[in-house]
Protein backbone atom coordinates (compact mmCIF):
# COMPACT_ATOMS: atom_id res chain seq x y z
CA UNK A 1 0.00 0.00 0.00
CA UNK A 2 1.47 3.37 -1.07
CA UNK A 3 0.99 5.87 1.73
CA UNK A 4 0.90 9.64 1.15
CA UNK A 5 0.97 12.56 3.52
CA UNK A 6 -1.33 15.09 1.90
CA UNK A 7 -3.90 17.82 2.43
CA UNK A 8 -7.63 17.16 2.79
CA UNK A 9 -9.74 20.24 2.11
CA UNK A 10 -12.40 21.48 4.49
CA UNK A 11 -13.99 24.84 5.12
CA UNK A 12 -16.44 26.78 3.04
CA UNK A 13 -16.09 28.23 -0.44
CA UNK A 14 -13.20 30.74 -0.77
CA UNK A 15 -12.23 30.13 2.87
CA UNK A 16 -10.33 26.88 2.59
CA UNK A 17 -8.67 25.16 5.50
CA UNK A 18 -6.89 21.87 5.22
CA UNK A 19 -6.20 18.84 7.37
CA UNK A 20 -2.78 17.24 7.01
CA UNK A 21 -3.56 13.54 6.75
CA UNK A 22 -1.79 10.26 6.14
CA UNK A 23 -3.81 8.34 3.56
CA UNK A 24 -3.62 5.56 1.04
CA UNK A 25 -2.70 7.08 -2.31
CA UNK A 26 -5.70 5.39 -3.96
CA UNK A 27 -8.29 7.03 -1.67
CA UNK A 28 -9.97 10.30 -2.72
CA UNK A 29 -8.58 13.67 -1.64
CA UNK A 30 -11.22 14.34 1.02
CA UNK A 31 -12.03 10.68 1.58
CA UNK A 32 -10.74 7.96 3.87
CA UNK A 33 -7.47 8.51 5.68
CA UNK A 34 -5.31 6.57 8.08
CA UNK A 35 -4.43 9.33 10.52
CA UNK A 36 -4.88 13.08 10.85
CA UNK A 37 -1.61 14.66 11.94
CA UNK A 38 -2.42 18.37 11.77
CA UNK A 39 -4.06 21.39 10.16
CA UNK A 40 -3.07 24.09 7.69
CA UNK A 41 -4.75 27.50 7.31
CA UNK A 42 -3.50 29.49 4.31
CA UNK A 43 -5.85 32.41 5.08
CA UNK A 44 -3.58 33.87 7.79
CA UNK A 45 -0.34 35.75 7.21
CA UNK A 46 2.00 33.94 7.68
CA UNK A 47 0.04 30.75 7.04
CA UNK A 48 -0.81 28.77 10.17
CA UNK A 49 0.66 25.27 10.18
CA UNK A 50 -0.14 23.06 13.18
CA UNK A 51 0.85 19.41 13.14
CA UNK A 52 2.39 16.78 15.34
CA UNK A 53 6.03 16.75 14.21
CA UNK A 54 6.76 13.43 15.90
CA UNK A 55 3.92 11.64 14.10
CA UNK A 56 4.95 13.19 10.79
CA UNK A 57 8.55 12.12 11.43
CA UNK A 58 7.44 8.56 12.21
CA UNK A 59 5.41 8.33 8.99
CA UNK A 60 8.26 9.80 6.92
CA UNK A 61 10.67 7.25 8.42
CA UNK A 62 8.19 4.45 7.61
CA UNK A 63 8.26 5.54 3.97
CA UNK A 64 5.20 7.74 3.55
CA UNK A 65 5.64 10.11 0.62
CA UNK A 66 4.54 13.73 1.17
CA UNK A 67 2.93 15.72 -1.62
CA UNK A 68 4.75 18.83 -2.84
CA UNK A 69 2.81 21.23 -0.61
CA UNK A 70 3.13 19.03 2.46
CA UNK A 71 6.83 18.49 1.69
CA UNK A 72 7.31 22.27 1.78
CA UNK A 73 5.49 22.44 5.14
CA UNK A 74 7.50 19.59 6.61
CA UNK A 75 10.69 21.22 5.41
CA UNK A 76 9.58 24.56 6.87
CA UNK A 77 9.01 22.95 10.27
CA UNK A 78 12.20 20.87 10.16
CA UNK A 79 10.79 17.35 9.85
CA UNK A 80 12.77 16.63 6.67
CA UNK A 81 15.96 18.05 8.22
CA UNK A 82 15.37 15.80 11.22
CA UNK A 83 14.97 12.83 8.83
CA UNK A 84 18.23 13.80 7.13
CA UNK A 85 20.04 13.87 10.48
CA UNK A 86 18.47 10.59 11.57
CA UNK A 87 19.64 8.88 8.38
CA UNK A 88 23.14 10.12 9.22
CA UNK A 89 22.82 8.55 12.67
CA UNK A 90 21.60 5.25 11.17
CA UNK A 91 24.56 5.18 8.76
CA UNK A 92 26.93 5.98 11.60
CA UNK A 93 28.16 9.29 10.18
CA UNK A 94 27.16 11.26 13.31
CA UNK A 95 26.00 10.42 16.80
CA UNK A 96 22.46 10.95 18.10
CA UNK A 97 23.67 13.70 20.47
CA UNK A 98 25.25 15.67 17.61
CA UNK A 99 22.10 15.23 15.51
CA UNK A 100 19.88 16.46 18.35
CA UNK A 101 22.18 19.43 18.97
CA UNK A 102 22.16 20.43 15.29
CA UNK A 103 18.39 20.11 15.07
CA UNK A 104 17.87 22.18 18.22
CA UNK A 105 20.16 24.94 16.93
CA UNK A 106 18.36 24.95 13.56
CA UNK A 107 14.96 25.01 15.26
CA UNK A 108 15.88 28.01 17.45
CA UNK A 109 17.18 29.91 14.43
CA UNK A 110 14.06 29.11 12.40
CA UNK A 111 11.71 30.11 15.25
CA UNK A 112 13.53 33.44 15.59
CA UNK A 113 13.18 34.03 11.86
CA UNK A 114 9.44 33.25 11.94
CA UNK A 115 8.89 35.52 14.95
CA UNK A 116 10.83 38.30 13.20
CA UNK A 117 8.56 37.95 10.16
CA UNK A 118 5.45 38.15 12.34
CA UNK A 119 6.76 41.25 14.10
CA UNK A 120 7.73 42.82 10.76
CA UNK A 121 4.25 42.19 9.35
CA UNK A 122 2.67 43.79 12.42
CA UNK A 123 4.97 46.80 12.16
CA UNK A 124 4.28 47.15 8.45
CA UNK A 125 0.53 47.10 9.10
CA UNK A 126 0.87 49.80 11.78
CA UNK A 127 3.01 51.96 9.47
CA UNK A 128 0.55 51.55 6.61
CA UNK A 129 -2.35 52.48 8.90
CA UNK A 130 -0.51 55.58 10.17
CA UNK A 131 0.43 56.73 6.67
CA UNK A 132 -3.14 56.21 5.45
CA UNK A 133 -4.47 58.22 8.40
CA UNK A 134 -1.96 61.01 7.70
CA UNK A 135 -2.98 61.10 4.03
CA UNK A 136 -6.67 61.24 4.97
CA UNK A 137 -5.99 64.05 7.44
CA UNK A 138 -4.07 65.99 4.79
CA UNK A 139 -6.94 65.62 2.30
CA UNK A 140 -9.47 66.64 4.96
CA UNK A 141 -7.46 69.76 5.83
CA UNK A 142 -7.10 70.68 2.15
CA UNK A 143 -10.87 70.35 1.67
CA UNK A 144 -11.54 72.44 4.78
CA UNK A 145 -9.12 75.15 3.56
CA UNK A 146 -10.74 75.18 0.10
CA UNK A 147 -14.17 75.52 1.74
CA UNK A 148 -12.92 78.38 3.94
CA UNK A 149 -11.50 80.19 0.91
CA UNK A 150 -14.74 79.68 -1.02
CA UNK A 151 -16.78 81.08 1.88
CA UNK A 152 -14.39 84.02 2.30
CA UNK A 153 -14.67 84.78 -1.43
CA UNK A 154 -18.47 84.58 -1.22
CA UNK A 155 -18.47 86.95 1.78
CA UNK A 156 -16.09 89.32 0.01
CA UNK A 157 -18.29 89.33 -3.09
CA UNK A 158 -21.40 89.83 -0.98
CA UNK A 159 -19.87 92.69 1.04
CA UNK A 160 -19.08 95.00 -1.96
CA UNK A 161 -22.44 94.14 -3.51
CA UNK A 162 -24.16 95.08 -0.28
CA UNK A 163 -22.10 98.27 -0.07
CA UNK A 164 -22.95 99.05 -3.69
CA UNK A 165 -26.62 98.39 -3.01
CA UNK A 166 -26.52 100.77 -0.04
CA UNK A 167 -24.71 103.38 -2.13
CA UNK A 168 -27.37 103.14 -4.86
CA UNK A 169 -30.11 103.47 -2.30
CA UNK A 170 -28.37 106.46 -0.76
CA UNK A 171 -27.99 108.08 -4.19
CA UNK A 172 -31.63 107.43 -4.98
CA UNK A 173 -32.66 109.01 -1.69
CA UNK A 174 -30.52 112.09 -2.31
CA UNK A 175 -32.00 112.54 -5.77
CA UNK A 176 -35.47 112.17 -4.36
CA UNK A 177 -34.70 114.73 -1.70
CA UNK A 178 -33.21 117.06 -4.26
CA UNK A 179 -36.10 116.62 -6.59
CA UNK A 180 -38.67 117.19 -3.88
Q: pTM for this structure?
A: 0.62
Domains by residue range for the chain, with CATH: 3-94 (3.30.1320.10)
State the pLDDT at residue 161: 67
Helix 79-91 to helix 68-77 angle, to the nearest 10 degrees?
A: 80
| Integer Cα distance of 22 and 41 in angstroms | 18
Mean pLDDT for back-to-back runs of 10 residues, the chain (180 residues) = 88 90 86 90 87 91 92 90 91 91 92 86 83 90 90 83 63 62
What pLDDT is recorded for position 39? 93
Amino acid sequence: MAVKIRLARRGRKKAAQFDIVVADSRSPRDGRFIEKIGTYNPQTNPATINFDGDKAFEWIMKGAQPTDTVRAMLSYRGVLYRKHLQLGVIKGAISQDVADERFTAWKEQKDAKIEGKRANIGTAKDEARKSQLAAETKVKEARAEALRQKQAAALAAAAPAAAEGEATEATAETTEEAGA
